[in-house]
Amino acid sequence: MRKSSIESISSVEMRENPIWRFANRPRSNETELTPVKKLPCKDLKGRLVAAQVTLADGTTVWSFLGNIDTTNARLTEHFITISVENNGKWFHLARYHDFDYEDRSPARLAAFLERDVESVFPIHYDIRAFVLGESDALKGTIELEPQERLTRAEIIAMAVP
């Protein structure tokens, strides 16, 4: 099974295949997503995790989580990505250091979900059933504001050790 984007993956496919990896599309410069069959995974590089996350108000929604470092919770806190589904549409939340933060901010995610910000954040996730690693890196929260806000130089230094 190969999918062109997260938007083309159904909730049934997400439930059946919680880990998806990016792969080059044959004879093309484009990538596609293919399910990872061997679980639990040890590494999430180049992979997305399909999981239901819990919003602050207790509601669960389907999401794709990315940039999770299985051994470093601090790295995950600053680089985690989340895309959230609502009525067949997807919203890709920007991180505080992304250039398009204003367009994909927490307030915009709340509006997309037809809730107020306090009903959405913090968002809780737990992917320990699918991935091997440190518990703090695999179970956590996506806060409205990071506990620690890094400078651009610190972000780059973290990303490129």
- pLDDT tens-digit profile, the chain (161 residues): 888 889 999 999 999 999 999 988 777 777 899 999 999 999 999 999 999 999 999 999 999 999 999 998 988 999 999 999 999 999 999 998 899 999 999 999 999 999 999 999 999 999 999 999 988 889 999 999 888 888 888 888 887 86
Backbone Cα Rg of the chain: 15
Query: Would you state the pLDDT for residue 146?
Result: 83
Give the integer Cα–Cα distance in Å for 84 and 106: 12
Query: Would you state the pLDDT for residue 155?
Result: 85
Is residue 150 classed as helix, strand or coil in its secondary structure? coil
Query: Would you state the pLDDT for residue 4?
Result: 86
Cα angle 159, 38, 54 (rounded to 5 degrees) comes to: 60
Give the integer Cα–Cα distance in Å for 157 and 160: 5
Query: Would you state the pLDDT for residue 64?
Result: 97
pTM for the whole thing? 0.90
Query: Would you state the pLDDT for residue 2?
Result: 84
